[in-house]
Amino acid sequence: QVQLVESGGDSVQAGGSLRLSCVVSQHIVSNYCMGWFRQAPGKEREGVAAISVRGIYTWYGDSVKGRFTISRDNAKNTLYLQMNSLQPEDSAMYYCAATGGCLRNPPQTASGFAYWGQGTQVTVSS
């Protein structure tokens, strides 16, 4: 069974930081690429960041480059997203995603991921 459970969402002031976590099923963590996506009300789901199985390859959406960092600790079955310099436009539901058959570079779009968590809400006020 595939399970992804996000946590760490909160309400913060602009300029603040948050770290999101996603705990995953043990069999996923060793064989799957992982990613973070976000969706604000009335908007399409947007790719935030993605990471390869061993964390060697990463990808970031243009709007978060230089501010967000994706990482994974396979020993702890956990994916992370460190978010710094948060802005109101970063407010959204953030989702963790996973996909198998990932040989090198992780997918960059939602259609490339097969499994999803329930999401954690991030709200940034000005």
HEC-encoded secondary structure of the chain = CCCEEEECCCEEECCCCEEEEEEECHHHHCCCEEEEEEECCCCCCEEEEEECCCCCCEEECCCCCCCEEEEEEHHHCEEEEEECCCCHHHCEEEEEEEECCCCCCCCCCHHHCCEECCCEEEEEEC
Q: Report residue 1's pLDDT band, with 50, 70 and 90 as the boundaries.
A: confident
- Residue 68 main-chain phi, psi, to 5 deg: -110, 150
Q: What is the tens place of the pLDDT at every residue in 57-79?
A: 999 999 999 999 999 998 899 99
If you search the block for the tokens 């954690």, which residue do you land on? Answer: 120
If you search the block for the tokens 């000005």, which residue do you land on? Answer: 126
pLDDT at 104: 85
pLDDT at 118: 97
In contact, 116 and 110? CB cutoff 8 Å:
no
Q: What is the tens place of the pLDDT at every residue in 106-125?
A: 999 999 999 999 999 999 99
111 is written with which tokens?
């259609």
Cross-strand bridge partners of residue 50: 35, 59
Q: What is the mean pLDDT of residues 12-35?
A: 90
Q: Report residue 25's pLDDT band, with 50, 70 and 90 as the boundaries.
A: confident
pLDDT at 41: 94
Amino acid making up residue 78: T
**Does pLDDT of 29 surpass 80?**
no
Q: Report residue 31's pLDDT band, with 50, 70 and 90 as the boundaries.
A: confident
